[in-house]
Amino acid sequence: MDKENVFKLADLAHIEISDTEAEKLVRDLSSIVEYVSHLQEVSGVEALEKKVGAFHNIMREDENPHDSGIYTEKLLNEAPEREGDYIKVKKIL
C-alpha cells in the first residue's frame, strides 16, 4: 500500500482526499490489511461453498403499482437541485 494506491482507490470510490490525509491512510490501511491477512492462515475452506446468506432470487410479481406521481413531490423535495419534475445535475456529455 502506497500513496499512489490510496489515490487510485479514492478515485475509484469518488472521494476527494488531501495529500496529508493520503499519507495517514497509507499507514491506517496497511495495518488493517496486515491484520486481516491472517485469514490466509486458514486452510481447508477452499471446498466450502461460497455464498452469502440463506436467500436467493427472492422475487415478486410486478403488479399493483401505486398511483403514478403520488410520491414525486416528496422525493424531489429532497434533491439538492431540481428543475420542474427533474433532478438537476451538471452536463454529463
What residues make contact with other proteins under the rule CB under 8 A? 5-6, 9-10, 12-17, 21, 25, 28-29, 31-33, 35-42, 44-46, 48-55, 58, 60, 71, 74-75, 78-81, 87, 89-92
Nearer to other proteins, 35 or 62 (CB): 35
Q: How far is the CB of 92 from other proteins (least distance, A)?
A: 5
**Interatomic CA distance for residues 25 and 1, integer angstroms:** 9
Nearer to other proteins, 40 or 68 (CB): 40
Q: How far is the CB of 18 from other proteins (least distance, A)?
A: 9
Residues 6+ apart with CB under 8 A from 5: 26
Q: Which of 16, 23, 18 is nearest to 2 (CA)?
A: 23
Q: How far is the CB of 64 from other proteins (least distance, A)?
A: 12
Q: How many Cβ atoms sit within 10 Å of the Cβ of residue 53?
A: 5
The three cell numbers of residue 32 are: 488493517
